[in-house]
Chains A and B, each alone.
Chain A
Amino acid sequence: MKIEGFDHGSRGLGVRNYQLILPSVVCSTHISRRIANAVNAVTFSHQHGCGIIGADVAGIGDFFASLADHPNVSSVLIISLGCETIQGQELAEKLVAKNVSTKYQIIQDSGGVEATVTAGTASARSLQDSYPAKRIQLKDFRVGIDAPSNSAIIRDLIGALRALNIQTDLVSGKSPADSFSHLMEKKVHLILSFPTGDQPASGFPLIPVINIASESALHQAISADFDLPAETTVVNIVKLIFEVANGQETIAETNKSGEILAPRLVRST
């Protein structure tokens, strides 16, 4: 079973080829989305980047850097307001160390909203043009598992993946979105999510997520949102992992569901 990955240089091979439009602050999230929609890139809304103190300043900067450093990401365009705590230019310097294909655009220096959208769209396109997708066989495949506990099926699954030389990371976060952010930082290429019975199926914009249902009433009512039913087998899961890694869309990808949640340690001021 082979996986054809995208060559992303020093960051390794990805199973997707996403460009990230990264708002450095909540104030630039809407402009980032307009640019992302224009160039078919990925972005996300968040409420961070300003009015933060203490460990959060470095923490959010590190989180943004790990997004830029993810193997599924081709290039990054930072959209900055200009006067925020996490400054666009400094963030760009931090991110370039991880991903050389990083540029930034500052709203307050660009002449307003429309001028930023125009310049940012051109910049995102030039990054895409300078980074053509090249496929190479993926060797170091890493799968993340979001599951509430280390149950029998999870143990069997981890055993089966290890036998195929696939590395695994298991995280049990406060919610699937919380787990996904932690798994992103571990640079997993693909995520298997076993949400608890009260949480819906969901996705993560940079990483394909395969959702596996439980027997809960909620999951049974929304079975169409899950890639696999509760009674699925390890063999079916492994088969789907390879199909998705080779480009098949997950249901969360088709629905474009799920957000990137940036973890926060302290609070806003």
Chain B
Amino acid sequence: MNNSPLKAYLRPNGSWGLRNHILVLPLHSALSSSARAIEEASQGAVAITHDWSGEIDADLERIVSTLAGFASNPNNFATIFVTLDSPNERRIIERAKLLGLSNFVHLSLADVGSMHKLVDVGTREADQLIARALLQDRIPAPWSAIVLGLECGGSDALSGITANPALGVASDMLVDLGATSILAETTEILGAEHLLAARAITPEVGVEIVNTVLRYESSINYEGIDLRGAQPSRGNIEGGLSTLEEKSLGAAKKAGNALFTGVLEYAEVPAVPGLFFMDTPGHDIEQLTGFAAGHVNIVVFTSGRGTPTGSATMPVIKVATNTPMATSLKDLIDLNAGTIADGVESLSEVGNRIFNEIVAVANGKETKAERGGHHEFSLSRLYN
């Protein structure tokens, strides 16, 4: 086990959970308020809410993969599906089973009889599952148990100098030990794709990285809209970033210097360990959702401006790029990488600190986002 200090929850399909959540997942927007009510009444279940009302359109497959992947994330001990029992909802549950979900409850509104009863029955089911989850112990796990998501949001001029390259150090250490690490945000590697492609494990993977960016650029041009209205964002510009290319060069540093093993579609689960690139939007929450659906079980999120966001399934470690923000927003930042710019710590020292925090959080240490109960959710759509 490479002397791994990790202890995690082993799932029936051989994957590893770093948390033991009971997830309440509504499969129709009208059931979102019921799912939230179950979360509030239960002894610790987590619920997400979303805006899909069963529409059958060009985004359907993306929504099916997202919800099925989210439901089957190994950090969930069990998932309670709250549904109208429509064919597409049943398809999502079947897909989640194919992705390894074996422990779930399906509550259909029609079977239960009313929204009010749905909350009662759902809360009872959730509390029973919570009691069962408490009986499962963490056991020694290999380094490959870690599937790390690399994220940045609210970037500033220091992102590419402090927090992002320090996270790259930690990512390289983990990939070297046999873990998985995933870079994402296609919007934010625009202009840096040739540098990433040069680090591909095979020429084919390099071509795939470049093509993913090209596909994205042409789809945005097709909309007839200038991407630069959103990227860099107004907050980025206030934080000192000049162009999208500058933002991209800094964002790519999160992936360190390891070779890229492959490219993943949005919400795709990697089949082998290594460093991957996933095609996601730059929208922080849509990216987090894509990670969770791709079975990422822990995230490091670097930020220049600061953000409270978290996930219902994955612990999210926040790393500040600068000391003033880390000091003023203490209750949402876990680690400060601003010490590099202050001349107090070296890149490798901060990289080691991030690595140690990943191990501690993987073993159960609570993040600030978890303590605050933050678990935002967004469905990513391409057409609607």
- Report if A261 contacts B (CB, 8 A): yes
- Report if A113 contacts B (CB, 8 A): yes
In the complex formed, the residue of B with least CB distance to A268 is B283
Q: How far is the CA of A39 from the CA of B307 in the complex (A)?
A: 24
Given A83-B235, A198-B86, A269-B187 in contact, is the A108-B306 Cβ separation under 8 Å?
Answer: yes
- Cβ–Cβ contact B374 & A199, under 8 A: no
Given A27-B285, A198-B86 in contact, is the A113-B372 Cβ separation under 8 Å?
Answer: yes
Given A27-B285, A113-B331 in contact, is the A222-B109 Cβ separation under 8 Å?
Answer: yes
A residues less than 8 Å from B330 (CB atoms): 112
A residues less than 8 Å from B180 (CB atoms): none
Q: How far is the CA of A225 from the CA of B109 in the complex (A)?
A: 10
What is the total number of residues of chain B having a CB less than 8 Å from a CB of chain A?
71
In the complex formed, the residue of A with least CB distance to B380 is A268
- Cβ–Cβ contact B286 & A259, under 8 A: no
Contacting B at CB under 8 A, from A117-140, are none
- Cβ–Cβ contact A268 & B286, under 8 A: yes
- Cβ–Cβ contact B282 & A174, under 8 A: no
- Report if A256 contacts B (CB, 8 A): yes
A residues less than 8 Å from B226 (CB atoms): 53
Q: Is the interface of A mostly helix, strand, loop or mixed?
A: loop
In the complex formed, the residue of A with least CB distance to B306 is A108
Q: A109 → chain B, closest Cβ, in Å?
A: 9
- Cβ–Cβ contact A107 & B231, under 8 A: no
Q: How far is the CA of A113 from the CA of B284 in the complex (A)?
A: 18
- Cβ–Cβ contact B285 & A178, under 8 A: no
Q: B181 → chain A, closest Cβ, in Å?
A: 23
B residues less than 8 Å from A4 (CB atoms): none
- Cβ–Cβ contact B233 & A47, under 8 A: no
Q: Which of A30, A84, A112, A222 contacts B331 (CB 8 A)?
A: A112
B residues less than 8 Å from A85 (CB atoms): 230, 233-234
- Cβ–Cβ contact B332 & A112, under 8 A: yes
Q: Which of B86, B110, B306 contacts A221 (CB 8 A)?
A: B110
Q: Which of B50, B51, B235, B281 contacts A269 (CB 8 A)?
A: B281
A residues less than 8 Å from B332 (CB atoms): 112-113
Q: B29 → chain A, closest Cβ, in Å?
A: 6
B residues less than 8 Å from A107 (CB atoms): 306, 308, 329
A residues less than 8 Å from B309 (CB atoms): 26-27
Q: A111 → chain B, closest Cβ, in Å?
A: 6
- Cβ–Cβ contact B30 & A51, under 8 A: no
Contacting B at CB under 8 A, from A97-111, are 107-108, 111
Given A177-B29, A200-B109 in contact, is the A46-B283 Cβ separation under 8 Å?
Answer: no
Q: How far is the CA of A225 from the CA of B124 in the complex (A)?
A: 20
- Report if A258 contacts B (CB, 8 A): yes
Q: How far is the CA of A112 from the CA of B369 in the complex (A)?
A: 12
- Report if B220 contacts A (CB, 8 A): yes
- Cβ–Cβ contact B283 & A269, under 8 A: yes
Q: How far is the CA of A225 from the CA of B119 in the complex (A)?
A: 13
A residues less than 8 Å from B224 (CB atoms): 54
- Cβ–Cβ contact A51 & B51, under 8 A: no
Contact with A along B176-196 (1 / 0, CB 8 A): 000000000001000000000
B residues less than 8 Å from A222 (CB atoms): 109-110, 113-115
- Cβ–Cβ contact A175 & B329, under 8 A: no
Q: A185 → chain B, closest Cβ, in Å?
A: 17
Q: B54 → chain A, closest Cβ, in Å?
A: 7
- Cβ–Cβ contact B116 & A114, under 8 A: no
- Report if A45 contacts B (CB, 8 A): yes
Q: How far is the CA of A43 from the CA of B49 in the complex (A)?
A: 13
- Cβ–Cβ contact B114 & A269, under 8 A: no
Q: How far is the CA of A218 from the CA of B53 in the complex (A)?
A: 15
- Cβ–Cβ contact B53 & A51, under 8 A: no
* Selected interface stretch from B32-40, B70-78, B343-351: B32-40
B residues less than 8 Å from A259 (CB atoms): 29-30, 32-33, 49, 51
- Cβ–Cβ contact A256 & B37, under 8 A: yes
- Report if B55 contacts A (CB, 8 A): yes
Q: How far is the CA of A176 from the CA of B55 in the complex (A)?
A: 12
Q: B239 → chain A, closest Cβ, in Å?
A: 7
- Cβ–Cβ contact B116 & A224, under 8 A: yes
- Cβ–Cβ contact A27 & B223, under 8 A: no
A residues less than 8 Å from B49 (CB atoms): 45, 259
Given A199-B53, A222-B113 in contact, is the A47-B225 Cβ separation under 8 Å?
Answer: no
B residues less than 8 Å from A268 (CB atoms): 281-283, 286, 378, 380-381
- Report if B3 contacts A (CB, 8 A): no
Contacting B at CB under 8 A, from A58-104, are 81-85, 87
Q: How far is the CA of A81 from the CA of B231 in the complex (A)?
A: 17
Q: How far is the CA of A73 from the CA of B73 in the complex (A)?
A: 40
Q: B152 → chain A, closest Cβ, in Å?
A: 12
Q: How far is the CA of A124 from the CA of B97 in the complex (A)?
A: 45
Contacting A at CB under 8 A, from B98-121, are 109-111, 113-117
In the complex formed, the residue of B with least CB distance to A86 is B234
- Report if B201 contacts A (CB, 8 A): no
- Cβ–Cβ contact A31 & B308, under 8 A: yes
Q: How far is the CA of A54 from the CA of B286 in the complex (A)?
A: 18
Q: How far is the CA of A90 from the CA of B282 in the complex (A)?
A: 23
Q: How far is the CA of A224 from the CA of B54 in the complex (A)?
A: 22
Interfacial residues, chain A to chain B (CB-CB below 8 A): 26-31, 45-47, 50-54, 57, 81-85, 87, 107-108, 111-115, 174-178, 198-203, 217-218, 221-222, 224-225, 255-259, 261-262, 264, 266-269
Known: A257-B34, A258-B30. 7 other contacts (CB 8 A): A27-B285, A45-B376, A81-B154, A107-B306, A114-B331, A175-B53, A200-B115
Q: Supply 24 A–B pairs (Cβ within 8 Å), ascending by A.
A: A26-B309, A26-B378, A27-B308, A31-B308, A47-B51, A53-B223, A53-B230, A54-B223, A83-B238, A83-B239, A84-B234, A108-B325, A112-B330, A176-B30, A177-B29, A177-B30, A221-B109, A222-B114, A258-B33, A259-B33, A261-B29, A261-B53, A262-B51, A267-B281
**Those 3 A-B pairs whose CB atoms lie nearest each other, nearest first:** A83-B235, A51-B283, A47-B378
